[in-house]
Amino acid sequence: MDIVFILTHPIHQDIASSNLMRAYSKYDSNRFSYRCYCSAPIGVNSKGFINNSYFEYVFENNRNAISLINKIWNKILLIHSIIYDCIRCDIRNDVVYIYHISSPLLIFIYSIIYKVKGIDTWLYRTEIPYALFNKPSLNIFYRIAYFYINNLIVETNAMKLFYKNILKPDASISVVYSSLDCSDIKFIDKMNNTQMYIAYCGLISSEDKDGLLLAIEGFSKILNYYNDIYFYIVGGNSNESYYLSLKQRVHKLNIENNVIFTGKVSREQYIWYLKNAYLLVNCKRPGGYNSYGLSSKVIEYLYSGNPVLMTKADEFKDILIDMEDVIYIDNDIDSFFANTMWALANANEVENIGEHGRRKVNSYFSISSLSRKLLYIIDDKYN
């Protein structure tokens, strides 16, 4: 069976969900394709191939919609387009249609139309519903929205347990770990004789997801012992107030000469910072909304071959071994300080940890592993 992914965002977009979906296009087989209910990005044709997979954009919306009225109108047009296509589309018996959408309304509309037409319903989710996480009283609403979903793909076992409380008892829930196309990271050599620095690389959004206030405080203590080390915070931000709070903390601690905010950088620069860091850090807070998913930045970190210092905030803790694949810390400043100090004093050991991590990510999070697992789930269902 071939697979068509149905998306409401561009497959070419540089965001986490698109990057995950696009990883399937790198699989040697051409069994995956994409149908996007949105406008093609500027400079991208409405139909064509991305790596080994066919794509098409089937809906034109207003890219510059700013006002609430225009955004509502775009949503109405999107719903109409999906309803129209679900009803009129010729459904091939040798294809499985997997919807990678988050809107409960769209999920309900698509699944009820497929139910009426007698077509098996598949949904792919890489997050849990944020509204339901914050307000468990919405459970009945989500039970209704997901009632006709027969098959669900999620990226962690924690997500699987969460969605079991929403889906009907006989629905199938399968776990497929995420992957990213990191070929541009793997094949770039590390430079010698660069200044020593630790780094956070990725989109900066919140303390729960990034833990940068903790890291900055811990780093300030390290400067009492190593005054020639730097902390590069690499990437753009989606939360200006949080980004400003980081800079204010750096200023208050009087460490502006050693903490460098690069802002948004090109992919080439991003990889340079990844590959040449002495240590890569991710201090995501355990137990929150983001703990249900896997940090895509950690996958990139591991592919760099450099040692990774991170909290036990998500399902990586069940896969990556402490002091073998990564260096785990508790969610506090003292633990960050102590473990980073150990790493700085033990170069050979952390180099081995980085190499072990690189091997582990190739084993568990490669594109071929991701694709084969999903194809196995589909083929096992219908053969």
The angle subtended at Cα 64 by Cα 60 and Cα 65, nearest 5°, is 85
Give pLDDT, residue 30: 82
The angle subtended at Cα 304 by Cα 325 and Cα 367, nearest 5°, is 85
Type of residue found at 6: I
Rounded-to-integer distance, Cα 314 and Cα 326, Å: 14
Q: What is the DSSP letter of 197?
A: E
Q: Which of 282, 301, 265, 159 is nearest to 209 (CA)?
A: 282
pLDDT tens-digit profile of 317-329? 999 999 999 999 9
Report whether 98 contacts 122 (CB < 8 A): yes
Helix 367-382 crosses helix 16-23 at what angle (to 10 degrees)? 70
Q: What is the CA radius of gyration of the chain?
A: 22
Of 62-66, 234-238, 301-305, which gets the smallest average pLDDT?
Answer: 62-66
Burial label, 248 (beta-carbon count in 10 A; 0-12, 13-18, 19+)? exposed
**Cα separation values, 116 from 66, 110, 111, 112, 172, Å:** 36, 10, 9, 6, 19
- Percentage above 90 pLDDT, the chain: 73
Q: Which of 74, 72, 148 is nearest to 110 (CA)?
A: 148
Structure tokens at 281: 């850090």
Within 13 Å of residue 205, how many CA atoms lie on the same side as its CB? 11
Report whether 317 contacts 325 (CB < 8 A): no
Band (62; pLDDT cuts 50, 70, 90): low
Rounded-to-integer distance, Cα 205 and Cα 45, Å: 31
Report whether 27 contacts 52 (CB < 8 A): yes
Are 2-179+366-382 and 183-364 in the same CATH fold? yes
Q: Which fold has domain 183-364?
A: Rossmann fold (3.40.50)
Q: Can you give the residue ranges of every domain in the chain?
A: 2-179+366-382, 183-364
pLDDT tens-digit profile of 308-364? 999 999 999 999 999 999 999 999 999 999 999 999 999 999 999 999 999 999 989
**Cα separation values, 271 from 234, 302, 307, Å:** 10, 12, 15
The span from the first CA to the last CA of the chain, in angstroms, equals 9
Give pLDDT, residue 66: 58
Report whether 207 contacts 242 (CB < 8 A): yes
Of 176 and 66, the structure prediction assigns the larger pLDDT to 176
Ordered strands of the 151-154 beta sheet: 47-50, 53-57, 32-36, 2-7, 95-100, 122-124, 151-154, 172-175
pLDDT tens-digit profile of 196-220? 999 999 999 999 999 999 999 999 9
pLDDT tens-digit profile of 241-290? 999 999 999 999 999 999 999 999 999 999 999 999 999 999 999 988 99
- For 202-240, letters b (16+ CB in 10 Å) and e give bbbbbbbbbbbbbbbbbbbbbbeeeeebbbbbbbebeee
Q: Which helix (H) or strand (E) holds 201?
A: strand 197-201
Burial label, 241 (beta-carbon count in 10 A; 0-12, 13-18, 19+)? exposed
Give pLDDT, residue 193: 67
pLDDT tens-digit profile of 289-303? 999 999 999 999 999
CATH superfamily of 2-179+366-382: Glycogen Phosphorylase B; (3.40.50.2000)
Band (378; pLDDT cuts 50, 70, 90): very high
Type of residue found at 275: K
Band (100; pLDDT cuts 50, 70, 90): very high
Report whether 179 contacts 298 (CB < 8 A): no
